[in-house]
Amino acid sequence: AEKVTSLGKDWHRPCLRCEKCNKTLTSGGHAEHDGKPYCNHPCYAALFGPKGGCLWWGHGGSERAWGS
């Protein structure tokens, strides 16, 4: 199996997966929290992204203002 390095560890390519949704990730193409890999969107953004602000991303990627 092909080896990839990410988060300071070596992984079998199919074993580097998002901790929440289990999507296969690429080395350097993902986020981490507490040493665990997460896909950038939607998992990392939903779990650990900013909770405040004037915009949020709705389902389907549409941008909406608060209160609309």
| 50/56 Cα distance (integer angstroms) | 10
Q: DSSP letter for 47, please.
A: H
| 4/26 Cα distance (integer angstroms) | 8
pTM value? Answer: 0.68
What are the domain boundaries of the chain?
3-48
- Are 28 and 39 in contact by the 8 Å Cβ rule? The answer is no
Question: Is 3-48 a CATH 2.60.120.560 domain?
Answer: no
pLDDT in tens, the chain (68 residues): 689 999 999 999 999 999 999 999 998 889 999 999 999 989 999 999 887 544 444 444 434 333 33
Using a 10 angstrom Cβ sphere, with 0-12 exposed, 13-18 middle and 19 or more buried, the burial of residue 50 is exposed
Token output for 55: 């915009």
